[in-house]
């Protein structure tokens, strides 16, 4: 249960003693904190901002003024070399650090299938469950961060994607936007008692694992090991937003989405390499798309992302943190009878930036009506290969499914040229 990483070995030594001394543990922890503060600034991370439901990117990042599909919004100039929607002014000011890939063609226009494809780079296939990219980062990067005591993949607001064949110990650690983590507090229980419990649990687990009933036992044991680590960790303070100054919190925007992005920044600072933010949903705009965007979704999105980028720049973290903002697909260029837009995966846009990638660019191009791509097109595997490149994960990394089937990282995609 505790065979991975230094802190767990340390922990095991207590377990073996049947819960005698706890001295040393605190010293050990404070040592870790110091270390973490030094190195985390230069550690690579990715923040995925998920627009659940599929955002109308034609109204956000790739406007079509003058077309019948153009909708109600006007484009505005930005700090980068491209125009975006007038209702995203804060982001526009920070577009020097962000780019838009305007030629995504991803063919899956069903919510579940699209979410799977965009998160994993693979189309759904009944013979294997592919890992969501956050789990890939946990597996590739998180396991190498000896000082990281909390899970390497944190999902704020229930991103329900699976770690697939990489195993439950790379599953997202889910928290809500308030940063409340239920049941992570051991209360007043002393260390000795916890050690006693864990050593008894380990005995039961080992018996079950040896009984030849598949991998569930080992997976369960791994997750428990990580759960114990996080319960004891000082790094959990990253979830406590009340340590931030009120003006910072105001800048991000109070409430779910702003709080989530602020928490994401704090998690990056303690060394978490992948954070998914899934607290600004409701993009499935089959009806009344323009009013909903203008009055509800875009102001929140603008304030949150704009402030995050400004904050990362100011802290000198922008070159280490890659940001991706997307949903499962875009929405139809054509405006439907209910003044909405339906599902559309053929030609849409994703916001990408940071991590040393080029900012201020529009990559790829759609035609005047937004209905087809007139440049190279990109798949989610290309996006994730770009993220892997930015995070220094070698692109020739190959994972092996449970059945021994080799799987290239990011499904063999290539980093997007205009971004690197």
Partner 1 sequence: MSTDFRFEIFPLLEALCEHSLTPAGRDRLEQLVIESPEARQLYVRYMQLHGTLTWDAALTDASQLVAFAERAGTQATTRPVRLRRWLVTSLGGLLAGALALLMVLWIGRTPELPSDPVISPNLANHPVLSAPNQNTDTTPLPTVALDVPMSSPTPSVMHPPNPAPAAVVAATVPMDDASVVSRINHLMRAKWSDAHVEPSLMAEDSEWLRRVYLDLLGHIPDSESVDRFLADGRRNKRSLLVQELMNHPDHARNLATIWSNLLVGRTTERPIDRAGLSKFLREQFRQNRPWTETVARLVSAEGDAREVGEANFLLAHLNNQAVPATAVTARIFLCRQVQCTQCHKHPDSSHGGTMSEFWELNSFFQQAEVVENRKYNPLTGRDEIVSRSLIDKPEGGPTHYEDLRGVMNVAYPRFAGQEINPDSTIKRRQELARLITTEGQRELAAALVNRTWAHFFGQGLVNPIDDMGPHSPCAHPELMEALTEAVVASNFDLVRLQKWIVSSQAYHLSSVATAQNASDEPVDGALPLFSRMYLKPLSAEQLFDSLLVATAADRAGASYWEQAEANRQAWLADFYSALENEENADATTFGGTYAQTLMMMNGDLVQRAISNAPGTVLNEIARTNADERTKIRSLSRAALGRDPRNQELVVFQSQLKHRREMPGAEPLGDVFWAYLNSTEFTVNH
Residue 405 burial (CB count, 10 A): 11
Tell me the H-state helices in 172-255. 191-210, 216-231, 246-252
CB of 214 to partner 1, least distance (A): 6
C-alpha closest to that of 157 among 43, 239, 243, 61: 239
CB of 284 to partner 1, least distance (A): 4
- Which is closer to partner 1, CB of 371 or CB of 397? 371
Antiparallel, parallel or unpaired: β 348-354 and 98-104: antiparallel
- Which is closer to partner 1, CB of 168 or CB of 395? 168
CB of 314 to partner 1, least distance (A): 32
Helix, strand or coil, per DSSP, at residue 51:
coil
- Which is closer to partner 1, CB of 119 or CB of 221? 221
- Which is closer to partner 1, CB of 38 or CB of 206? 206
Structural tokens at position 164 = 């697939």
CB of 45 to partner 1, least distance (A): 19
End-to-end CA distance of the chain: 40
d(CA 32, CA 280): 34
CB of 249 to partner 1, least distance (A): 24
C-alpha closest to that of 269 among 307, 326, 323, 316: 316
- What does DSSP assign to residue 211? T
Decide: 105 and 347 in contact? Cβ < 8 Å.
yes
122 alpha-carbon distance from chain centroid: 17
CB of 410 to partner 1, least distance (A): 11
Question: Which sign, positive or negative, has the C-alpha torsion 265, 270, 271, 272?
Answer: negative
CB of 293 to partner 1, least distance (A): 15
CB of 412 to partner 1, least distance (A): 5
- Which is closer to partner 1, CB of 89 or CB of 281? 281
Tell me the H-state helices in 256-391. 256-270, 289-292, 298-314, 380-390
Decide: 323 and 353 in contact? Cβ < 8 Å.
yes
245 alpha-carbon distance from chain centroid: 25
- What does DSSP assign to residue 132? P
CB of 334 to partner 1, least distance (A): 5
Cβ burial of 180 (10 Å; 0-12, 13-18, 19+) is exposed
- Which is closer to partner 1, CB of 215 or CB of 250? 215
CB of 155 to partner 1, least distance (A): 9
Residue 409 burial (CB count, 10 A): 23
- Which is closer to partner 1, CB of 54 or CB of 355? 54
């Amino acid at each position: 249960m505790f065979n991975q990483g230094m802190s767990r070995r340390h922990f095991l030594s207590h377990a073996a003693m049947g819960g005698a001394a706890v001295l040393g543990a605190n010293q050990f922890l404070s040592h870790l904190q110091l270390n973490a503060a030094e190195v985390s600034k230069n550690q690579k991370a990715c923040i995925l901002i998920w627009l659940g439901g599929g955002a109308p990117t034609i109204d956000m990042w790739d406007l079509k003024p003058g077309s019948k599909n153009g909708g109600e919004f006007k484009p505005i100039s930005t700090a980068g070399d491209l125009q975006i929607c007038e209702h995203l002014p804060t982001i526009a000011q920070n577009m020097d650090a962000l780019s838009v890939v305007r030629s995504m063609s991803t063919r899956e226009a069903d919510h579940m299938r699209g979410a799977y494809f965009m998160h994993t780079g693979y189309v759904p296939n009944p013979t294997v469950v592919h890992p969501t990219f956050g789990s890939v980062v946990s597996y590739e990067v998180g396991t190498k961060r000896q000082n990281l005591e909390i899970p390497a993949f944190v999902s704020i607001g229930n991103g329900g994607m699976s770690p697939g064949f990489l195993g439950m110990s790379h599953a997202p650690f889910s928290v809500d936007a308030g940063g409340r983590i239920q049941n992570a507090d051991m209360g007043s229980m002393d260390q000795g008692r916890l050690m006693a419990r864990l050593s008894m649990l380990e005995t039961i687990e080992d018996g079950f694992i040896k009984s030849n009933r598949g991998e569930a036992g080992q997976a369960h044991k791994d997750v428990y090991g990580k759960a114990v680590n996080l319960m004891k960790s000082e790094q959990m303070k990253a979830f406590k937003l009340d340590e931030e100054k009120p003006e910072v919190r105001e800048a991000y925007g109070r409430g779910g989405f702003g709080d989530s992005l602020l928490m994401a920044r704090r998690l990056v600072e303690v060394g978490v390499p992948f954070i998914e933010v899934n607290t600004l949903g409701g993009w499935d705009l089959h009806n009344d798309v323009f009013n909903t965007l203008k009055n509800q979704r875009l102001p929140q999105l603008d304030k949150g992302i704009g402030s995050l980028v400004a904050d990362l720049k100011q802290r000198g973290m922008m070159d280490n943190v890659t940001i991706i903002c997307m949903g499962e697909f875009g929405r139809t260029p054509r405006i439907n009878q209910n003044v909405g837009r339906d599902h559309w995966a053929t030609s849409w846009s994703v916001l990408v930036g940071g991590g040393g990638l080029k900012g201020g660019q529009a990559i790829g191009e759609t035609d005047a009506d937004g209905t087809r791509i007139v440049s190279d097109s990109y798949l989610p595997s290309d996006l994730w290969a770009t993220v892997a490149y930015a995070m220094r994960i070698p692109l020739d990394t190959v994972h092996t499914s449970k059945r021994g089937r080799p799987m290239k990282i990011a499904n063999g995609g290539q980093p997007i040229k205009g971004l690197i």
